[in-house]
Amino acid sequence: MQSRPASSSPAVGPLRRVKVLLPLPLDGAYDYRAAAGLPVEAGDFVLVPLGRREEIGVVWSAGGAGPGAIAEGRLKDIAHRFDLPPLPAVARRFVDWVASYTLNPPGAVLRMAMSVSAVFGEGPRPAIAYRLAAGVAPDGPAPEGVKLTPQRRRVLEIARAGARPLSEIAREAGVGVGVARTLADAGLLESVVIPDATAAMPDGSRAGPDLSEDQRLAAGELTAKIEKGGYAATLLDGVTGSGKTEVYFEAIAAVLKRGRQALVMLPEIALTASWLERFTARFGAAPTEWHSELSAKQRRANWLAVAKGEARVVVGARSALFLPYSKLGLIVVDEEHDTAFKQEDGVIYHARDMAVVRAHLGGIPIVLSSATPSLESTVNADTGRYQRLHLPLRHGGAVLPVIEAVDIRQHRPPHQRWLTPVLRDALTETLAQGEQAMLFLNRRGYAPLTLCRACGHRLKCPTCSAWLVEHRLIRQLQCHHCGYTIKSPEACPACGAVGEMAACGPGVERLSEEVAELYPKARVSVMASDTITGPAAAAEFVRAVTEREIDILIGTQIVAKGHHFPLLTLVGVVDGDLGLDGGDLRASERSFQLLYQVAGRAGRADRPGRVLVQTANPEHPVMRALVAGDRDGFLAAEAEGRKRRHMPPFGRLVALIVSAGDKEHADATARALARLAPRGDGVEVLGPSEAPLSLLRGRHRRRLLMKTPRGTDVQGMLRDWLAQVPITGDARVQVDIDPYSFM
C-alpha cells in the first residue's frame, strides 16, 4: 500500500483538535484529539471511539466550534490513522453539499463514499512466490545440515519449474506446506515478490474512428473544454445511433492525455456489457467498474484504485459519483433522461443533478448525453446554461425507423391475446425475410393480476397495496414492491374453489406464450430485469441476439436502452398506453422517451426499420409526436404546459412521505405537518393524501407536496417546518427534493 504523500493537504497542516465525520446518520461531525504522535490532516480516514464502539470516519475540518464541540477534558483520542489517500477537499465539500440539498445528515451521505468497509481492513499482503535457489540441484548432493528426503527432492523439482506460492508448490509435490517451508528456511528455495498484476490502463492516445463532420465538430467542442479546464455543462443531443458515444469517447481520450480521471455514469449497469466492449476496443484496456454486482474484493481494489488515481476511467451506476476521485477531470452522464438516476430510498437524490453539482464544485466539464433529453436539460440548454451539441443524423446514413400507431379499437387482438393482426402480419413478414423483431411490453412476469373466477377475490400483497404478479416459469406470485413471494395457489385463498384462479392481462412471459403459439419455429427469448441479472447475463443475451440465435426478442424497458442489433428491423410496442395513465407530472415525457428509445432499436445499419405502436389513444400528444417524429415539438408543448402550471423545471416541488406502522399514527403525523405548513408568495402545500402505494412493507404512507416558485430556498423552509413538528414513535418523514416518483 502506498503511503500518504507528505503534501496531501498543505493548507490545513497538522491539527490538534479536529472534527471527524462518521458515516452514520448523526447530526454532524464530532470533535476528537489528534495525539502528538499521530498527526492527521483533513481528509484522513481514521478510527475513533464512539461510545463503547470504534468507528471509522474522516477528518472533516478543524475542531472547536459548532455542534459536536466538547470540553478539552472530555476529548477522546483518534485511535488510528489509515494509510490511505485522504478524501480530497472537493469530495468532502460535495458530501456536505448533497447533505444540505437533500436534507440528510452529512454522515448518511459520507456513507455512500465509504461503502467499502473492506478497504479499511488489513492491507493486502504482497504475494510472495518461491523458486529454486541459485546453485541448488534437486537431484544433486544435499547441502550441509539438510537431509534431502525423496519428498523434499520432489519439492525442489517442482520449484525448478518456476516461481509459485509455497502452498502451490507443496500441493503439486503432494506434501504439506511445512515441508516446503523447511526448505525455504534452509535457503534451498528463494523468495521473489510477485509484482502486482497492474491492469493495463486505457490509452488516450489510440486513434478512434474517423468521425463525420457533425461528430468532429461536437468532439472538438468537448476537447476544447477539457483543454481549457473549468466547469462547463454540455448537452450532447443526438438521435439514437448518431455516434454520441464515439463523440464523448474523444472527450475521454483528451482527459486521459492530461493524466486525469473520467467518470461515465450509465443508468443500468446490467446493460453495460456492450458498452464495456466498445470502450475496451477503443482504449485498449477496460475501464474500472463500480456497481452492486462487484465482489467485495473487486470493490476494495477499485475503490483504492480510484482514490490513488490509478483508475483512469470509471464506469458505474449512481453510487460511482461518490467515489474518492483524486483527480477527476470529466463526468459523462449517458442517457441522462433516464429516471434510474434518481435514487428513491435512503438518501433520495438525482445522480444526474448531483453530477452537475460535482462538476461545478470540482471545476470540471460535464457532458449529458441523450437522444431524448429530459425537459430539465432541454430548458437548461435553451436558456444557455448548458451548451447544446447536436448530432442530427444516424451514423453511416442509416435512416430512422418509420413509426406507426396501430389503433387497437379498430384492429382488435383475439380474446385473451395481445397482438393485433397488423402487428402479427409485420412479424410474419420480418421472420420471412430472415430478420429479427423485438416486442416491447413493460411488464415483468406472466400476468399483473390474478383473480378467482368463482368469488372475484384478487391476490394482493399482505404488506403493500399492490397486486401480486404471477411468474409462471417459477410458479410464483411476487410483490414487485417488497419482494413478498408465495407459491401459485391451486385453490382460491378466499373461497377455496379449486382451479378457478385466472390470470388477467399480459406480462412478457404470457406474451412469449402467444408468440410461441403463432410462430412455433421461431427462436423466442425474454429479456427482463429478473431474467437478466447482471452484466454477464446481459452480455450473453446481446451476443445471442447479435449472432442471430434469437428471432424474436421480448422485453421490458431493459431492452429500450443502448443496444445495437444490426438485423433488428421490427419493433412492436404491445401496449403503448401503459405509461400514459400514470397521471403524474412526467408521465407523458417518460412515455415519449421510452417509446422513442424503443423505436430507436429498429433499423440500424443499412436496413430501414419499422415500429408499430399498439394504442387505444392514437390522438394522444405522445402518440402524435412519435408518429410525426416531432420530438422537439413535443418537448416544446410539454415545456409550455409545465410553465403554465409553474411545474418543474419552472417551479419547484418537494414531496414529503410520512409513514408509520399504525394507520392513525401516520394520519396524525401527516396532519400535524400540514397544519404547520409554510405559507408565502407562491408557496403551496397540497395534502396530506393517501399515497397511491398507501401501504408499503407494512407501513402506512401519506404524502404532502410542496410547490414553490423556482428561486425559493426550499431547504431553509423545510428545515424550519420540520423542526416544529414532533415526529414520534416509529413515524418517519422522508424528504424528496425534486420528486420523480409520486407513488
Given 113, 333, 452, 479, the residue binding Zn ion (CB under 5 A):
479
How far is it, in rounded angstroms, from Cα 433 to Cα 607? 12
Residue placing its CB nearer to Zn ion in the complex, 477 or 558 = 477
- Helix then strand then coil, % of the chain, to nearest 5: 35, 25, 45
d(CA 462, CA 459): 9
Give DSSP secondary structure letters for 676-729: T---BTTBEEEEEEEEEEEEETTEEEEEEEEEEETT--HHHHHHHHHHHS---T
For 199-228, give one letter per residue: b (16+ CB within 10 A) or e.
eebbebeeeeeebbebbeebbebbbebbee
And the C-alpha cell for 710? 423556482
* Binder of residue 484, out of ligand ADP, Zn ion, none (CB less than 5 to 8 A by kind): Zn ion
> Closest approach of Cβ 260 to ligand ADP, in Å?
23
Q: What are phi and psi of 524, to 5 degrees?
A: -115, 140
Rounded Cα distance between 78 and 55, Å, is 10
Residue 118 touches which member of ligand ADP, Zn ion, none, C-beta under 5-8 Å by kind: none
Identity of the residue, 61 or 369, whose beta carbon is nearer to ligand ADP in the bound complex: 369
The residue with cell 415545456 is 639
Residue 694 partner contact from Zn ion, ligand ADP, none using kind-dependent CB cut-offs of 5 to 8 Å? none
Dihedral angle computed from the Cα positions of residues 417, 420, 425 and 426, in that order, rounded to the nearest 10 degrees: -110
Per partner kind, with CB cut-offs from 5 to 8 A, the member of ligand ADP, Zn ion, none near residue 482 is Zn ion
Shortest separation between residue 697's beta carbon and Zn ion, angstroms: 7
342: left (phi over 0), alpha (psi -120 to 50) or beta: beta
CB of 661 to Zn ion, least distance (A): 15
- State the binding partner of 245 from Zn ion, ligand ADP, none, CB within 5 to 8 A by kind: ligand ADP
Give the helix ranges, DSSP H, for 519-658: 535-546, 587-599, 621-628, 631-644
Q: How far is the CB of 477 from Zn ion (least distance, A)?
A: 11
The count of residues interacting with Zn ion (CB under 5 A) is 6
Among Zn ion, ligand ADP, none, the one that 244 touches (CB under a kind-dependent 5 to 8 A) is: ligand ADP
Measured from the CB atom, the residue of 223 and 240 that comes closer to ligand ADP is: 240
Nearest to 525 by CA among 502, 490, 558: 558
CB of 337 to ligand ADP, least distance (A): 13
| Least Å from the CB of residue 592 to Zn ion | 30
Q: Which residue type is seen at 119? A: V
Q: Does 481 bind Zn ion (CB under 5 A)?
A: yes
Inter-axis angle of helices 273-283 and 535-546, nearest 10: 80
Looking at beta carbons only, is 245 or 380 nearer to ligand ADP?
245
When binding is defined by CB under 5 A, the residue of 354, 426, 461, 674 that contacts Zn ion is 461
Residue from 653, 709, 658 nearest 680 by CA: 709
Q: How far apart are CA 549 and CA 334, in angstroms?
A: 29
Q: Which residues contact 161 (CB under 8 A, 6 or more apart)?
A: none
**479 contact choice in Zn ion, ligand ADP, none (CB below 5 to 8 Å, kind-dependent):** Zn ion
Alpha-carbon Rg for the chain, nearest whole angstrom, is: 30
| 695 scored as a contact of Zn ion (CB under 5 A) | no
- Report the partner that residue 512 touches, choosing among Zn ion, ligand ADP, none (CB closer than 5 to 8 A by kind): none
> Looking at 82-90, 280-288, 475-483, 519-527, which segment touches Zn ion (CB under 5 A)?
475-483
User: Would you say 70 and 18 are in contact if contact means Cβ atoms under 8 Å apart?
Assistant: no
Residue 461 contact, options ligand ADP, Zn ion, none, Cβ 5-8 Å cut-off depending on partner type: Zn ion
Closer by beta carbon to ligand ADP, 204 or else 243 = 243
- Is residue 743 part of the contact set for Zn ion (CB under 5 A)? no
User: Which residue type, as a one-letter code, is found at position 614?
Assistant: Q
Q: Which is nearer to Zn ion, 461 or 559 (CB)?
A: 461
Which of ligand ADP, Zn ion, none interacts with 246 (beta carbon under 5 to 8 A by kind)?
Answer: ligand ADP
* Chain-centroid distance, C-alpha 127: 34
Burial of 636: CB neighbours in 10 Å, binned 0-12, 13-18, 19+: middle
C-beta of 564 vs 607, nearer to ligand ADP: 564
Angstrom CA distances, 71 to 18, 20, 46, 199, stand at: 13, 16, 21, 49
Distance CA 350, CA 355 (A): 8
Element (H, E) at 615: strand 610-615
Among residues 351, 291, 350, which one has the least CA distance to residue 315?
A: 291
Q: Is 448 or 651 the residue whose CB approaches Zn ion more closely?
A: 448
Q: Of the two residues 275 and 325, which places its CB atom closer to ligand ADP in the complex?
A: 275
Residue 528 touching Zn ion (CB under 5 A): no
Q: Which is nearer to ligand ADP, 246 or 353 (CB)?
A: 246
Find the shortest distance in angstroms from Cβ 551 to ligand ADP.
22
Pick between residue 243 and residue 445 the one whose CB is nearest to ligand ADP: 243
Nearer to ligand ADP, 238 or 651 (CB): 238
Name the helix (H) or strand (E) containing 510. Answer: helix 508-518
Residue in 101, 120, 231, 484 binding Zn ion, rule: CB under 5 A: 484
Q: Which residues pair with 501 in a beta bridge?
A: 452
Should residue 468 be labelled a site residue for Zn ion when binding is judged by CB under 5 A? no
**Residue 237 beta carbon to ligand ADP: minimum distance, rounded to whole angstroms:** 10
Q: Per rule CB under 5 A, is residue 469 in the interface with Zn ion? A: no
Indicate the helix (H) or strand (E) that contains 131: strand 128-132
Binding at 215: pick from Zn ion, ligand ADP, none (beta carbon under 5-8 Å per type): ligand ADP
Establish if 439 lies at the interface with Zn ion (CB under 5 A).
no
- Indicate whether 163 belongs to the interface with Zn ion (CB under 5 A): no
Residue 241 contact, options ligand ADP, Zn ion, none, Cβ 5-8 Å cut-off depending on partner type: ligand ADP
Partner from Zn ion, ligand ADP, none binding residue 464, C-beta < 5-8 Å depending on class: Zn ion
Q: How far is the CB of 465 from Zn ion (least distance, A)?
A: 9
**Binds 659: which of Zn ion, ligand ADP, none (CB < 5-8 Å by kind):** none
Residues 174, 167: Cα–Cα separation, whole Å: 10
Minimal distance, residue 298 CB to ligand ADP, in Å: 27
Answer yes or no whether residue 486 interacts with Zn ion by CB under 5 A: no
Shortest Å, Cβ 280 to ligand ADP: 13
Residue numbers of the site for ligand ADP (CB under 6 A)? 209-212, 215, 238, 240-246, 395, 564
**Is the CB of 139 or the CB of 210 nearer to ligand ADP?**
210
- Rounded to the nearest whole angstrom, what is the least distance from the CB of residue 597 to ligand ADP in the complex? 10
Least Å distance, CB 474 to Zn ion, is 17
For 71-118, what is the HEC assignment? CHHHCCECCEECCCCCCCHHHHHHHHHHHHHHCCCHHHHHHHHCCCHH
Closer CB to ligand ADP, residue 247 or residue 573? Answer: 247
One-letter amino acid of 40: V
Name which of 231 and 484 has its Cβ closer to Zn ion: 484
Q: Which CB, 33 or 395, lies closer to ligand ADP?
A: 395
Minimum distance of ligand ADP from residue 272's CB (angstroms) = 13
- The residues, ordered by sequence, that sit 6+ positions from 504 with a Cβ below 8 Å of its Cβ are 447, 448, 449, 450, 451
Could you tell me the smallest distance in angstroms from the CB atom of residue 587 to Zn ion? 23
Distance of closest approach, residue 356 Cβ to ligand ADP, in angstroms: 20
> Which stretches of the chain bind Zn ion, using CB under 5 A?
461, 464, 479, 481-482, 484
